[in-house]
Amino acid sequence: MHKQVLYSIQSPYREAMEVIGFQFGKGKKALCVVGAMRGNEVQQMYVCSQLVSRLKELERKGCICENQEILIIPCVNYYSMNIGKRFWTMDNTDINRMFPGYYLGETTQRIADGLFQNIQGYAYGIQLASFYQQGDFLPHVKMMETGFTDHDEMMNFGLPYAFVRTPRPYDTTTLNYNWQVWETKAFSFYTNETEFVDEISANTAVESILRFMVNKGIIKADISDGCMTEIISEDRLKQIHSPVAGILKNYVKTGDAFYKGDLLCELLDPLEGNVIKRIEAPYDGIVFFRYNRPLVFEKTVLYKMIRV
């Protein structure tokens, strides 16, 4: 393992912020994994740290394949992480909306540029991404439809579900999109937590990424085959919104199958405690995303369902 500073930016008030990378193996740039770019992505950083730990052991045993280089970057934005803020501490901008970056631009543009210069040229790239909505969802992998995509590559992760999405205009400044423009096959990997460590989904992510490396001939390791992956267009996800505000009482969890008419949740009056709305399944399906906060506002997305 070779630990290196990939990019450093000076601060007038604190020590320099350094983006640290951990390199395993030598030769062809096979895979780069990027973790937390936002200050609340604790789970994403944790998953990368566990990958570093596992790869140390695999490298010690000689299990990194010949002429294969792996780069793991657990955290890009620990300045924000140190104060518990999601976006950049000074101006509230998002590093993952600044790619490919600009070395003479604003601070987050410079960080994006410094990072991107070091992670170009890899055959595959995985970003441990986080969901913008608060809630639980099934671990999954996602690719953008940019013209440089091979959907079948997602089968190598061995997860139950993988998604393909059509990029929107704001996606053109993300790491995933720009990786693909520069001819890296890029995946966004989502576990079911962001601000807290969830061991079960973190272990799922680590095993899945190691499985991908085994299937692509990057490492040699004894990893289970995983699941047969169903590749789904993101348009197939159906949303169920809250018609009223109230206290949420959930009766389903992510991964649960349901049938039309099944009770999904109840919304309670926050002052009197009576049920003001019962939400029933409008069709048969599987719970992909579940809102998990106790207080719900009107029009909140309560569930995202895979309709079957």
Residue 13: its pLDDT value, please? 73
Helix, strand or coil, per DSSP, at residue 59: helix
Low-confidence residues of the chain, pLDDT below 70? none
Asked if 238 and 285 count as a contact pair (C-beta separation under 8 A), the reply is: yes
Domain boundary among 228, 260, 281: 228
Strand intervals (E) in 191-245: 230-233, 237-241
Q: Do 203 and 103 reside in the same domain of the chain?
A: yes
- Domain match, 49 and 149 both: yes
pLDDT for 192:
85
User: What is the per-residue pLDDT for 170?
Assistant: 86
In 3D space, the residue among 306, 302, 261 whose CA is nearest the CA of residue 288 turns out to be 306
**pLDDT of amino acid 107:** 93
Round to whole Å and give the CA distance between 160 and 209.
Answer: 14
Please tell me whether residues 25 and 122 are part of one structural domain. Answer: yes
The predicted pLDDT at position 259 comes to 95
Q: What is the dihedral of CA 147, 148, 150, 151, to 10 degrees?
A: -60
- 290 and 168 in one domain? no
Phi, psi of 225 (to 5 degrees): -70, -20
pLDDT digits (tens, 9 = 90+) for 28-39: 999 999 999 999
Instruction: Note down the domain range covering 28.
Output: 2-228
Q: Where a domain ends, among 228, 260, 283? A: 228
**Structure confidence at residue 236 (pLDDT):** 84
Q: Is the torsion defined by CA of 119, 121, 122, 127 positive or negative?
A: positive
Residues 277 and 142 in one domain: no
- Which of 206, 228, 250 delimits the end of a domain? 228
